[in-house]
């Protein structure tokens, strides 16, 4: 036996004996074999044998208990009944009338009195699937009982992932390897990952996906590719996931041989109508198009002197006969005024002019997925046009595949923001679900963090962000704490390690819940934004000032550090971006002392010696925040190392290693920002804080090879 083989065997035996084993994260939160389940929970299942929800339940049950769940022709004590309103056993339960307002995706899980029968019922198979996954989650997290009475339906109609996946297999802002879509193998070869992907999404309620990058290749709409898309759609369909595509606005010209892509040209209109027909013939439940137009160099209607309305409506007309929708992005910023104001200025004036199957997709903040931004003032401003939030699950600006940052608290903050659109209480959560101004349909998108890495998301904890997006798209009122609880239990529970695992989970949960604020602290506290390194957006480069580059791609444009102070004056004496918000919010943001400190430098240029609420000067406060970020990550390292006994060996080691990098990166961020801003403030870093360990000149030389255009 060779040395390596011997070591391998010993390692294997040790793992076996200690109960530790390698786990690569590929099972996500669907690790049913690790759940502690009493086999006698159910005596059998009453359901249609060919229905997917029952099949999914049966498979999970096998994994959980090691035994088959018997089919029953009629319910008996401790039966599980799974069925739609058309099934006779559901009719007998009396639940049917309660499902009246449950819609196409809602469900009821109810324990019937007397003989411990559990019923999962819905109007449709889609609802049933969500109900079954809910029941499984209860079992996995040891929350199942015979006293259930749950009624759920989603708050958003379309809950979709946006893949920024290119046809060559690369992913824009992807940090988990190449794309899971194997375009060169399709349609002949179907990767097993497509179905796993569908199941994982369905388990958290995601019902739609855009397969390709918003920076779309015209090739996507060729016959060849539509056939490939059809093959994927066929796998996703049983899981009730509808496929959408990003389109390139110049497609008629690029692949259709037309001399123009002018949206008012009749041949162009016909081209799109024919294209829609062609797609729906192969994919009858096709969702529609996502469009990035006249943004970051992409073509659009304005190339022909037309407007976003002309472009969106033309596509909407092509899709309308088939029930498709257009998701038109508001991420536009032609150079000119303060970038923060541009999307609002461009779109607000078009309110009420779009077709009823158009929805405007708006990033949560007015710039670009920064670690923290105030909400985009478009939310609440468009009263007659449906808007959908776009969140970024992939951590472009939040440590990418390396930093542990749980995004649910950031999204929760967004949902809880009050727009004052119709007075107090006009929360984003309500505005975007049609509860302030009625919307014909609602939607929410998350830019996916999924790739072909074994663990899907690069960082084991990044899976929590996929999970959280799904849960919040279903119900934007679920607390981050609940989401973390659910995810940790499902993801880390381990049959061999309980009960000690629970002691570990509390600190892990605390770490997750504070991790976003921590990243804000060590990257850009107090409202700083966009001081990332040029192109790759991983590390700090607040000094970056490339002659000739677009000013609004440069950090100095945003932080405006000078001898007086720091921050961008967006008040009435500055760019006046505050005026895009409703009263009293505009006034609150406008006042130096009323502006929430988390947005201070977003809205104000603040003197270095300005007194903060803590009593410290701005400069000192900045130093404390950066330092706090660093200390927190070190705390996370301790928490994680202490959890070694309850986490499997592989994931433990991988996360441990990433936390080490995150810890070094946090110091890098702190030193870079403080040493650089110190050249303006000319003040010492408070002496009780740890000293920089880098030279500013050395940090300025760091160039990571992660190239990207902006
Ligand atoms: O966040 C920026 C990214 C680009 C992205 C663009 C967008 C897909 O840096 O990579 O392009 O936004 O959202 O369109």
Q: What is the pLDDT of residues 165-217, one digit of tens each?
A: 999 999 999 999 999 999 999 999 999 999 999 999 999 999 999 999 999 99
In SS3 terms, 269-286 reads as HHHHHHHHHHHHHHCCCC
**pLDDT surpassing 60 at residue 72:** yes
Active site residues: 296, 368, 396
Domains and CATH numbers, the chain: 31-152 (3.30.379.10), 158-492 (3.20.20.80), 519-568+605-700 (3.90.1330.10)
C-alpha of residue 21 to centroid of ligand 1, in Å: 39
CA distances from 355 to 183, 392, 644 (A): 33, 27, 56
Paired sense of beta strands 443-447 and 158-162, if any: parallel
Structure tokens at 386: 């449906």
**Secondary element (H or E) of residue 199:** helix 192-203
Query: Which residue's CA lies nearest to atom 13 of ligand 1?
Result: 331
Q: Give the number of the atom of ligand 1 that is nearest the alpha carbon of residue 390.
A: 13
> Using N-to-C axis directions, what is the helix angle for 408-416 and 463-474, rounded to 10°?
30
Paired sense of beta strands 117-122 and 107-112, if any: antiparallel
pLDDT at residue 19, rounded to an integer: 43
Q: Which of 171, 172, 299 to mutate to test the pocket of ligand 1 (most atoms within 8 A of CB)?
A: 172
Q: For residue 584, say if its preceding peptide bond is cis, omega within 30 degrees of 0.
A: yes
SS3 assignment, position 223: helix
Query: Which residue's CA lies nearest to atom 11 of ligand 1?
Result: 215
C-alpha of residue 214 to centroid of ligand 1, in Å: 8
C-alpha of residue 709 to centroid of ligand 1, in Å: 10
Q: What percent of the chain has pLDDT over 70?
A: 96
Q: What is the pLDDT of residues 650-704, one digit of tens each?
A: 999 999 999 999 999 999 999 999 999 999 999 999 999 999 999 999 999 998 8
Q: Is residue 535 lining ligand 1, measured as CB closer than 6 Å?
A: no
Q: Count CB-CB contacts under 10 A for residue 437.
A: 17
Q: Of 662, 660, 667, whose CA–CA distance to 693 is shortest?
A: 667
45 neighbors 79 (Cβ within 8 angstroms): yes
Q: Is residue 164 lining ligand 1, measured as CB closer than 6 Å?
A: yes
Q: What is the pLDDT of residues 137-173, one digit of tens each?
A: 999 999 999 999 999 999 999 999 999 999 999 999 9
Q: What residues form DSSP beta bridges with 308? A: none
pLDDT at residue 498, rounded to an integer: 73
pLDDT at residue 4, rounded to an integer: 44
Q: In what order do the strands lie in the sheet with 79-84?
A: 44-46, 79-84, 117-122, 107-112, 149-152
Number of residues in the chain: 710
pLDDT at residue 22, rounded to an integer: 65
Q: Is residue 471 lining ligand 1, measured as CB closer than 6 Å?
A: no
Q: Is residue 333 lining ligand 1, measured as CB closer than 6 Å?
A: no
649 neighbors 386 (Cβ within 8 angstroms): no
C-alpha of residue 200 to centroid of ligand 1, in Å: 25
Write out the DSSP string of 629-691. HHHHHHHHHHHHHHGGGGS-HHHHHHHHHHHHHHHHHHHHHHHHHHHHHHHHH-----TTSPP
Find the farthest-apart pair of alpha carbons in the chain and give their distance in angstroms, rounded. Answer: 80
CA distance linking residue 20 with residue 322, whole number of Å: 53
Q: What is the pLDDT of residues 537-556, one digit of tens each?
A: 999 999 998 888 988 989 99
Q: Give the number of the atom of ligand 1 that is nearest the alpha carbon of residue 172.
A: 10
C-alpha of residue 513 to centroid of ligand 1, in Å: 26
């Amino acid at each position: 036996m060779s040395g390596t083989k011997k070591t391998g065997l010993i390692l294997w035996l040790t793992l076996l004996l200690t109960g530790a084993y390698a786990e690569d994260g590929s099972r996500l939160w669907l690790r049913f074999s690790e759940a502690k389940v009493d086999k006698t929970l159910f005596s059998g299942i009453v359901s249609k044998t060919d229905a997917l929800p029952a099949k999914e339940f049966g498979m999970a049950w096998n994994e959980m208990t090691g035994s088959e769940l018997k089919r029953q022709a009629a319910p008996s004590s401790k039966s599980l009944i799974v069925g739609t309103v058309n099934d006779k056993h559901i009719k007998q339960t009396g639940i049917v009338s309660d499902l009246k307002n449950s819609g196409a995706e809602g469900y009821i899980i109810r324990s019937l009195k007397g003989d411990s029968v559990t019923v999962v019922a819905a109007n449709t198979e889609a609802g049933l699937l969500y109900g079954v996954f809910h029941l499984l989650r209860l079992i996995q997290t040891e929350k199942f009982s015979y006293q259930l009475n749950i009624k759920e339906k989603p708050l958003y109609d379309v809950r979709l992932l946006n893949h920024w996946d290119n046809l060559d297999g690369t992913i824009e802002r992807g940090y988990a390897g190449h794309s899971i879509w194997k375009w060169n193998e399709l349609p002949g070869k179907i990767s097993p990952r497509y179905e796993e992907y569908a199941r994982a999404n369905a388990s958290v309620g995601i019902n739609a996906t855009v397969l390709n990058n918003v920076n779309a290749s015209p090739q996507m709409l060729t016959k060849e590719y539509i056939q490939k898309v059809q093959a994927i759609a066929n796998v996703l369909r049983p899981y009730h996931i509808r496929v959408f595509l990003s389109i390139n606005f110049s497609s008629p010209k690029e692949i259709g041989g037309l001399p123009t892509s002018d949206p008012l040209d009749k041949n162009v209109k016909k081209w799109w109508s024919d294209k829609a027909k062609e797609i729906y013939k192969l994919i009858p439940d096709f969702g529609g198009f996502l469009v990035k137009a006249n943004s970051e160099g992409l073509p659009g209607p304005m190339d022909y002197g037309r407007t976003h309305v002309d472009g969106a409506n033309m596509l909407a007309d092509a899709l309308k006969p088939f029930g498709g929708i257009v998701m038109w992005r508001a991420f536009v910023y032609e150079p000119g005024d303060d970038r923060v104001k541009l999307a609002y200025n461009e779109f607000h004036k078009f309110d009420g002019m779009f077709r009823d199957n158009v929805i405007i997709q708006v990033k949560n903040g007015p710039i670009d997925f920064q670690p923290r931004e105030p909400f985009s003032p478009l939310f609440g401003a468009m009263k007659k046009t449906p808007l959908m939030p776009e969140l970024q699950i992939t951590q472009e600006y939040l440590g990418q595949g390396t930093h542990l940052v749980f995004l649910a608290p950031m999204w929760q903050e967004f949902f809880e923001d009050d727009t004052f659109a119709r007075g107090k209480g006009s929360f984003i959560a309500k505005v975007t679900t049609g509860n302030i101004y009625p919307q014909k349909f609602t939607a929410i998108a998350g830019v996916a963090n999924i790739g072909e890495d074994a663990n899907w998301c690069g960082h084991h904890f990044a899976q929590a962000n996929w999970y959280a997006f799904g849960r919040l798209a279903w119900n934007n009122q679920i607390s981050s704490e609940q989401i973390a609880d659910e995810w940790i239990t499902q993801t880390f529970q381990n049959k061999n390690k309980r009960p000690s695992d629970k002691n570990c989970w509390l600190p892990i949960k605390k770490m997750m819940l504070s991790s976003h604020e921590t990243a804000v602290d060590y990257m850009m506290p107090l409202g700083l934004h966009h001081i990332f390194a040029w192109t790759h957006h991983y590390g700090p480069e607040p000094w970056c000032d490339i002659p000739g580059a677009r000013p609004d791609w440069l950090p100095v444009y945003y932080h405006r550090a000078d001898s007086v102070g720091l921050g961008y004056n967006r008040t009435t004496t500055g760019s006046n971006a505050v005026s895009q918000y409703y009263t009293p919010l505009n006034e609150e943001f406008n006042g130096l002392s009323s502006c929430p400190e988390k947005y201070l430098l977003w809205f104000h240029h603040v003197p270095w010696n300005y007194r903060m609420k803590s009593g410290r000067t701005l400069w000192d406060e900045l130093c404390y925040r950066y330092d706090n970020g660093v200390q927190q990550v070190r705390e996370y390292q301790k928490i994680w190392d202490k959890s070694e006994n309850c986490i499997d060996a592989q994931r433990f080691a991988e996360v441990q290693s990433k936390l080490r990098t995150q810890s070094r990166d946090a110091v890098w961020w702190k030193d870079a920002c403080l040493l650089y801003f110190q050249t303006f403030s000319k003040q010492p870093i408070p002496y009780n804080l740890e000293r920089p360990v880098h030279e500013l000149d050395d940090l300025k030389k760091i160039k990571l090879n992660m190239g990207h255009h902006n």
